[in-house]
């Protein structure tokens, strides 16, 4: 199995690519735009010899819904089992033969990005555990704030030359009284003393401009600081299967001391119509904040769906 090629297709196929498929298409990416799967998207171009059937099958496999990908497995996660219990969250990335992986390639200033979110989209965390290079165990202090089923994502790049990024995921159950949150479309977020707004519509199968704007006390914030090598990070999860899309700001890495804002642009390509949960990380005055949005992607034009009635003037909804 050509793991690299398959991963490339994950990126392009799941297309949220929020940039990856966009890059693969050879289009021009504006400055300040964001692309997470650029590498995977480019890999896709080298894959032209693949049969259409094979490519289509693989493209339908979304990123970040499996414990296994690219020859790696996310081993069971150890974590406190109850709300409020202080402890540690730890895990290993292993090869298919069960060996712990101890070397990773740095991406966006970290060897591994850990995303933890409750299955209803609440309780989002984006953190960076420490690796014990002797054992291959990643860990960090951990306390759950609420009960429920959680999805834990390990987003990393293998140390092998030319390797593509891998996202593995597992569920973790946390005991306690569970109060699920029903997601509703939300384009503005109040986080700490910031008002953050998401503009732009998502349409399935097409690339859309999405802009995040940050204000404080009604004034635009132009003091967004570099964080993990970008002025802002966007994680997108597809509601329903929590397929994962980690997006970083495109363009030159910000210089130390430089700032940006109030707007950060992203390219978004939703693979399917329906709901997406977006988490925007940004840093001001040395503190990282996360704004949460919920948006619905509309149905785009379906290619090859010739046997379906298609209305070209269906703009009335
Ligand atoms: Cu990270």
Contact call for residues 237 and 169 (beta carbons, < 8 A): no
Distance 16 CA to ligand 1 centre (A): 18
Distance 114 CA to ligand 1 centre (A): 6
Distance 233 CA to ligand 1 centre (A): 9
Contact call for residues 247 and 236 (beta carbons, < 8 A): yes
Residue 228: the pLDDT is 86
Q: State the average pLDDT for the chain.
A: 79
Determine the average pLDDT of the residues in 271-281.
Answer: 93
Q: Taking 70 as the threshold, does the pLDDT of residue 312 lie above it?
A: no
Helix (H, G, I), strand (E, B) or coil at 274: strand
Residue 129: the pLDDT is 98
Q: How many CB atoms lie within 10 A of CB 66?
A: 15
pTM: 0.77
Distance 111 CA to ligand 1 centre (A): 9
Contact call for residues 144 and 82 (beta carbons, < 8 A): yes
Residue 111: the pLDDT is 96
Residue 313: the pLDDT is 47
Distance 132 CA to ligand 1 centre (A): 18
Distance 165 CA to ligand 1 centre (A): 13
Residue with tokens 């298919």: 96
Specify which residues 66 forms β-bridges with.
none
Give CA separation, 148 vs 64, 91, 151, 187, in Å: 19, 19, 10, 25
pLDDT per position as a tens digit, 14-57: 333 333 322 222 223 333 333 333 333 333 333 334 444 444 44
Beta strands 274-284; 287-297: pairing state: antiparallel
Residue 268: the pLDDT is 76
The confidence band for 261, taking pLDDT boundaries of 50, 70 and 90, is confident
Specify which residues 154 forms β-bridges with.
114, 168
Domains, the chain, in order of start with CATH, read: 19-174 (2.60.40.10), 188-297 (2.60.40.3340)
Least confident of 233-237, 239-243, 297-301: 297-301
The confidence band for 153, taking pLDDT boundaries of 50, 70 and 90, is very high
Residue 315: the pLDDT is 46
């Amino acid at each position: 199995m050509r793991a690299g090629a398959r991963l490339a297709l994950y990126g392009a196929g799941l297309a949220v690519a929020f940039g990856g498929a966009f890059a693969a298409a050879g289009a021009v990416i504006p400055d300040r735009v964001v692309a997470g799967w650029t590498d995977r998207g480019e890999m896709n171009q080298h894959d032209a010899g693949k049969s259409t059937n094979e490519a289509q099958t693989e493209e339908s496999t979304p990123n970040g819904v499996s414990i296994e990908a690219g020859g790696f497995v996310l081993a069971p996660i150890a974590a406190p089992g109850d709300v409020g219990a202080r402890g540690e969250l730890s895990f290993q990335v292993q090869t298919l033969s069960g060996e712990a992986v101890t070397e990773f390639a740095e991406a966006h200033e970290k060897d591994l990005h850990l995303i933890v979110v409750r299955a209803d989209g609440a309780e989002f965390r984006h953190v960076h555990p420490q690796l014990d290079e002797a054992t291959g165990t990643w860990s960090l202090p951990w306390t759950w704030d609420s009960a429920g089923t959680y999805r834990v994502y390990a987003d990393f790049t293998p140390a092998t030359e030319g390797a593509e990024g891998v996202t593995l995921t597992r569920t973790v159950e946390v005991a306690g009284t569970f109060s699920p949150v029903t997601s509703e479309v939300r384009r503005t977020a109040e986080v700490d003393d910031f008002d953050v707004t998401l503009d732009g519509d998502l349409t399935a199968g097409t690339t859309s401009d999405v802009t995040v704007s940050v204000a404080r006390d009604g004034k635009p914030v132009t003091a967004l600081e570099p964080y993990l090598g970008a002025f802002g990070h966007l994680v997108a999860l597809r509601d329903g299967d929590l397929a994962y899309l980690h997006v970083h700001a495109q363009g030159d890495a910000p210089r130390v001391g430089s700032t940006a804002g109030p707007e950060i642009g992203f390219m978004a390509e939703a693979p399917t119509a329906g709901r997406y949960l977006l988490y925007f990380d940004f840093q001001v005055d040395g503190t990282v904040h996360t704004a949460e949005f919920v948006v619905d992607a509309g149905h785009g034009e379906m290619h090859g769906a010739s046997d379906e009635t298609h209305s070209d003037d269906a703009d009335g909804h």
